[in-house]
Amino acid sequence: MADQQKLTASIIIISETASADPSTDKCIPTLQKVFTSLGASKWEITATKIIPDDVTKIQNAVLQSCAEGVNLIVTSGGTGFAVKDVTPEAVGPLIQKQAPGLVHGMLAASLEVTPFAVMSRPVAGVRDGSLILTLPGSPKGAKENLEAVFKLLGHACLQAQGGDSRNMHKGGVEKLEKEAGVSAKGGEKKVGGGHSHSHGHGHGGHGCGHNYGPGHGGHQGPKAHTAPEERPQQSNDPAQGPSRRYRQSPYPMLTVKDALHKIAEHTPSPTIIKLPVNESLVGHVLAEDVTAQESVPAFRASIVDGYAVIAGSDAPSTKGVFPVSMISHAQAGEHQELQKGQIARITTGAPLPPGATSVVMVEDTILVSKTDDGNEEKEVEILTDEIEVGENVREVGSDVQSGDVIMQKGEGISAIGGEFGLLASVGVKEVSVYKKPIVGVLSTGDEIVNHDREGDLKRGEVRDTNRPTLLTAIRGSGFEAVDLGIVSDKPGALEQTLRDATRRVDVMITSGGVSMGELDLLKPTLERQLGGSIHFGRVAMKPGKPTTFATIPVKSNSGERIDKVVFSLPGNPASCVVTYHLFVLPSLHQMAGVEPRGCARVKVQLDGDVRLDRQRDEFHRAVVKAGGDGLLHALSTGGQRSSRIGSFKGANALLCLPAGEGSIKKGEMVDALLMGKLVGDV
């Protein structure tokens, strides 16, 4: 540059929200970072301002900066198509020399990121020696736009200010490019990744960081690029009343895959507890290896009915007639030692008397005489001399040795019974397992009444189907469910219920109250009253788009910080069941140490055509049966309108259908998630 004097810039944020509450602004720091990282030595930011979307105020702010003689004025916000977006209308008339090339450069850079760039209406140009640029309102979009042209601005500003153009251009374009750190070959031209973004070139004006586009661009689902902690609180502030609430959900639309990642990331790790080995152990997963406390069998036992004998080289022949000196049934107690020349009657599973080496099967013997009362055997003849030491004897520990690892960490105790039986057989009284989360379910809405309330519904009342449906689904998947009831729409009620619930349960599921309805209090309550973080609020899927996942930090009894998990599921039962199986179950499994998590994914053959949704991946209720041909067959349960609980009757699976045109034909294979038991088809 011609001299060492720094170029000056002012940043003007145009946003209703941020002007009301400057703490919500994320644009200023983002833009300041662009200046410091790309041009710290050349630039100095002399002023930052936050003003509302108002033509006069915007013009005054820009004119003031011009009057102060700054080299560069960047505005952010108000460049979309919303009614209140007026930045181009305010700034446009002030420009004396248009700079369409800069506009083109910014749009081209954004277009590489999202097709919604065409929804931005930037202007750029010079007034009184100051270069003015209007950037979009989202921090991400503003940053991308500024970065796209930033390295060229120094030169432009100097010229605009009246720098000696001949002198500046002396080295030719190549020298200029070198000074600016750019090249025509594209070394610097591209900023930001090539993947899809969802920042809102579409509608500035909800304040920085709120400007997420309509968010269904392209095939690859849109993706959030900020972590929740980087975002201002996004929920509506109920105190502001309906006229101030968002016209469009401020939450980025996540793909199902990304939503599942978020859930996995924010679900608390399992806690380890000790539990007695009793029936309530079923469904738990071991957190430590289990070793046998005892050997099985714990004593030498006969595996046949017959006679315990002394055999072997130093014993007399086993062939001959012997007195039956004692009887060993399968029962506890001490036995006398068996003496040479004696035999003992023994039943299967009974302990061998001390001294006995083997058991002769009853088939190899005949009764010779009975006791006087005729009730007992007195003498028995053994017909064979070929009995070996250890014959028909189960040795101590031949099944399990004391100290053997009989089950490993990560193995589950199923309801089928095998594992429980094993633990029970070796004297294990207590095991370390992952604590199964307790799940609370509540419904929200003044219109909701208990499903079994007596009497006809009044106008506008709705029976609560979601809560009983979810309670059933939770218990059906082996978790304890707590009914938290119906919460009224009054702000305090929801907060109190959730606060109480954090002490009783690990996971809260609410349904209703997740749409953009005027009384949607859940998100603001979570964020504003409970200090929670909303990790996602929209998912690109059908049904279940408004599915919301949040965590609330609480102090445990031992004083450490733990997160309670909140799922807010869509306000109708069919969507509730789908999203429970898709999103909640994997989280419960994760907390309980169950692997793999969630419903089993299987390939099924369609027994009928299924139409695809053009825009969203769909989870389509179906009945999956095991066919006689060894394949799993799926039949749709019909109309999938998200309020149709009837379409769930009999459904045990969700077909995973990609968004697309037309339908998938009968006979084709698709993925399905099994929610319940397979049914046979005979």
Ligand X SMILES: *[C@@H]1O[C@H](CO)[C@@H](O)[C@H](O)[C@H]1NC(C)=O
Residue (of 550, 494, 484, 487) closest to 521 by Cα position: 494
450: left (phi over 0), alpha (psi -120 to 50) or beta: beta
The binding track of 225-264 with respect to ligand X, each residue x by CB under 6 A or -, is: ----------------------------------------
Look at residue 177 and give its three-state secondary structure.
helix
Residue 582: Cβ within 10 Å count: 25
Closer CB to ligand X, 276 or 354, in the complex: 276
The binding track of 552-581 with respect to ligand X, each residue x by CB under 6 A or -, is: ------------------------------
Residue 336 binds ligand X (CB under 6 A): no
Question: What phi, psi does 110 have (nearest 5°)?
Answer: -70, -35
Least distance to ligand X from the beta carbon of 280, Å?
4
Least distance to ligand X from the beta carbon of 588, Å?
18
Closer CB to ligand X, 480 or 671, in the complex: 480
Cα separation of 499 and 508, whole Å? 11
Least distance to ligand X from the beta carbon of 221, Å?
42
Least distance to ligand X from the beta carbon of 257, Å?
36
**Judged by CB under 6 A, which stretch of 177-185, 221-229, 272-280, 314-322 contacts ligand X?**
272-280
Least distance to ligand X from the beta carbon of 139, Å?
50
Estimate to the nearest angstrom the gap between the alpha carbon of 188 and the chain centroid: 37
Q: Which residue is nearest to ligand X (CB)?
A: 278
Closer CB to ligand X, 246 or 420, in the complex: 420
Least distance to ligand X from the beta carbon of 279, Å?
6
Least distance to ligand X from the beta carbon of 442, Å?
25
Least distance to ligand X from the beta carbon of 592, Å?
14
Estimate to the nearest angstrom the gap between the alpha carbon of 58 and the chain centroid: 43
Least distance to ligand X from the beta carbon of 284, Å?
9
Closer CB to ligand X, 433 or 635, in the complex: 433
Residue 278 binds ligand X (CB under 6 A): yes
Q: In 445-560, at which residue ranges do the beta strands (DSSP E only) sit?
A: 448-449, 462-463, 480-487, 507-511, 533-536, 538-539, 541-542, 548-555
484: left (phi over 0), alpha (psi -120 to 50) or beta: alpha
Residues 6+ apart with CB under 8 A from 342: 322, 323, 324, 325, 326
Closer CB to ligand X, 182 or 413, in the complex: 413
Residue 275 binds ligand X (CB under 6 A): yes
**Judged by CB under 6 A, which stretch of 273-281, 353-361, 488-496, 620-628 contacts ligand X?**
273-281
Look at residue 495 and give its three-state secondary structure.
helix
Closer CB to ligand X, 413 or 653, in the complex: 413
Cα separation of 224 and 139, whole Å? 13
Closer CB to ligand X, 269 or 280, in the complex: 280
Closer CB to ligand X, 27 or 505, in the complex: 505
N- to C-terminal Cα distance for the chain? 84
Cα separation of 223 and 215, whole Å? 9
Closer CB to ligand X, 275 or 656, in the complex: 275
Least distance to ligand X from the beta carbon of 273, Å?
8
Q: What is the largest CA-CA distance in the chain?
A: 137
Segment (H or E) for 191:
none
Q: Kindly calculate the radius of gyration of the chain based on its CA atoms and give it in whole angstroms.
A: 38
**Judged by CB under 6 A, which stretch of 55-63, 236-244, 271-279, 356-364 contacts ligand X?**
271-279
Closer CB to ligand X, 22 or 276, in the complex: 276
Closer CB to ligand X, 413 or 530, in the complex: 413
**Judged by CB under 6 A, which stretch of 270-278, 293-301, 402-410, 603-611 contacts ligand X?**
270-278
Closer CB to ligand X, 190 or 435, in the complex: 435
In order of 87, 364, 493, 609, 655, the CA distances from 662 in angstroms are 43, 76, 46, 10, 16
Total chain residues near ligand X (CB under 6 A): 4
Q: In 492-578, at which residue ranges do the beta strands (DSSP E only) sit?
A: 507-511, 533-536, 538-539, 541-542, 548-555, 561-569
Structure tokens at 478: 């082996």
Question: What phi, psi does 283 have (nearest 5°)?
Answer: 95, -5
Least distance to ligand X from the beta carbon of 275, Å?
4
Cα separation of 410 and 502, whole Å? 27
Residue of 93, 218, 276, 667 interacting with ligand X (CB under 6 A): 276
Segment (H or E) for 365:
strand 365-370
Least distance to ligand X from the beta carbon of 220, Å?
46
Residue of 36, 37, 56, 280 interacting with ligand X (CB under 6 A): 280
Closer CB to ligand X, 276 or 485, in the complex: 276
In order of 48, 349, 350, 360, the CA distances from 330 in angstroms are 90, 6, 4, 17
Least distance to ligand X from the beta carbon of 288, Å?
16
Residue 37: Cβ within 10 Å count: 10
Residue 274 binds ligand X (CB under 6 A): no
Binding interface with ligand X (CB under 6 A): 275-276, 278, 280
